[in-house]
Structure 1
């Protein structure tokens, strides 16, 4: 396989489309590999080209099928290490188990820590991810973690919509700090929803909105949504309080079939997100606009591979990345 820049990018079963976009940016060819899922659910992976003494980059989110995708990542790392790869960097745009970041009730697992330990024990040398649910999860790893941010790419797309009288709305106080980052980038005011969650049903009740939204267009921001319940309930409450157009913005889109149906029947006119998760449920939804962050990850890979600093990407995304991360 010809690969002039020497970068070896491989894809897990749910990371192939994203990996191809990365390779398009880098001018590389996707590594040859094979995944088989047997009838009883076992996963088989095989690297179909030599990786001896190579630095390899494995692309796979832990997303819609977190248990299968997580196990597959472990098998890939082991396969590369047993094939004498020099290093294995896991490119994990979405880390689903980051939601399990603390022991907030008796007799529960800190799942994010367990997964981090397993990834390291399997032999990963580095992890690249984006918009972790809790940034402190980087500390679960002893190996280097590059934590990227979708905010500049998402905000540039929002700017292109040229919406007047826009206010950034956080769904709860926990996301208020991140919402203020969006507001600073876009030079907009902030409002904050106050929601109450009583159990693990993925449903929360909006009980108050702090901030002025009457007569304004609203931009709801959050890191992810599965059921769409909080987004839709907040949008309805914003309408009740006199908001005009309502759009939403997520770093990761995990909406299931029922979530897409909720979105279609909601006051939300547009939902902007990234391609960090391969989600077939949203493909036919006209309200969903995806912006690719594959160029951001590709640029990170290029800098890691060339032994260059990655830290500038945390502050300002290069214009070539913004230009390449167009919607699709």
Structure 2
């Protein structure tokens, strides 16, 4: 990809935290610019030390750091990066967090608990972030926890285009619970498909949920299960089993983020799920050897958003009109 999508004279610098290296490199490849030099050290006592390897004075800095598989360490490192760039006189600092793990802590729904997403938002801003860029937050109102601008991107279009590309036919879009129904309808509208909704029960905080019933007609049809993320794979496997019992044929899954480890991947491999599609918002080594999991890249989408910020263009256009270049780069 040529750097001509950026202004000829630009002061953009993209850097990567330890969990964002692969994603940031893909962004830089799309934009045709080098990845910024940086280092992270972990001392023997567990302390983190971050160091910027080049001059960023008066530069527009973007730091990529998902908060994902090691959220406490990755979050702490993100705060140190924000502080380092601010103290190095960057003109602005944008925290690019493709997956914001603490988004699940968005409310006080039982006594004596922390609203963790709000605490994280305040810390990120106090550490020096001028802007935040994320994708498919667990609940979009989390943007309101931040006082600074939040660019909330969506994986929907790249997932939809991939489903179209594999020619998955005669299917119903299935929401794993009532809470995701609105998003499932967006998928269905883009794909011209009907919607079914699963009724599931989660008894505790153990990441295990069971699908109890499906509302909608799935008999004799293929099924596309859509959700924002999966950790244990339990809901997906349980729902796929139930869909089979209700007469569904082929079953595939579309996720924005995938946080599965070995046991969860094994469940998917042994399940009725034919294919699971997700993005690289989490650089997840546990899924790379799976024969059923296909990772497509959201990095070009983020890179396009960065280019539009640089050109002072609207980012909201990306919600409905993703450039074909993004799709071509995402599916490589």
Q: Please tell me the TM-score bracket, short chain as reference.
A: over 0.9
Structure 2 gaps of 5+ residues are 1-7
Partner SS, residue 268 of structure 1: coil
The whole-number CA distance in structure 2 between the counterparts of 1:300 and 1:242 is 42
Residue 175 (structure 1) aligns with: 180
- Calculate the TM-score normalised by the size of structure 2: 0.96
Residue 95 (structure 1) aligns with: 100
Deviations 1:5-45 (A, max 9, x none): 43200000010010000000111000000001112211110
The whole-number CA distance in structure 2 between the counterparts of 1:48 and 1:229 is 43
Residue 132 (structure 2) aligns with: 127
Residue 65 (structure 1) aligns with: 70
Shift of residue 198 of structure 1?
A: 1.4
Q: Which of 155, 162, 165 is the aligned partner of 2:167? A: 162
Residue 44 (structure 2) aligns with: 39
Aligned length: 326
Q: Which of 14, 21, 25 is the aligned partner of 2:19? A: 14
Q: Which of 135, 142, 146 is the aligned partner of 1:137? A: 142
Corresponding position: 1:289 with 2:294: yes
The whole-number CA distance in structure 2 between the counterparts of 1:324 and 1:111 is 35
Partner SS, residue 274 of structure 2: strand
Corresponding position: 1:196 with 2:198: no
Partner SS, residue 143 of structure 2: helix
Structure 1 gaps of 5+ residues are none
Partner SS, residue 121 of structure 1: helix
Show the 5 A alignment for 1:276-315.
276-315=281-320
- Calculate the TM-score normalised by the size of structure 1: 0.98
Residue 270 (structure 1) aligns with: 275
Shift of residue 4 of structure 1?
A: 6.6
Corresponding position: 1:186 with 2:194: no
Corresponding position: 1:245 with 2:245: no
Deviations 1:44-86 (A, max 9, x none): 1000100011110000100111000000000000000111111
Shift of residue 302 of structure 1?
A: 0.8
Aligned partners of 2:10 and 2:310 also within 8 Å: no
Corresponding position: 1:24 with 2:29: yes
Partner SS, residue 73 of structure 1: helix
Corresponding position: 1:225 with 2:230: yes
Which segment drifts farther, 112-121 or 204-213? 204-213
Shift of residue 124 of structure 1?
A: 0.2
The whole-number CA distance in structure 2 between the counterparts of 1:170 and 1:313 is 24
RMSD over equivalenced CA pairs, Å: 1.2
Shift of residue 191 of structure 1?
A: 0.5
Aligned partners of 2:28 and 2:34 also within 8 Å: yes
The whole-number CA distance in structure 2 between the counterparts of 1:136 and 1:164 is 34
Partner SS, residue 109 of structure 2: coil
The whole-number CA distance in structure 2 between the counterparts of 1:7 and 1:207 is 50
Partner SS, residue 308 of structure 1: coil
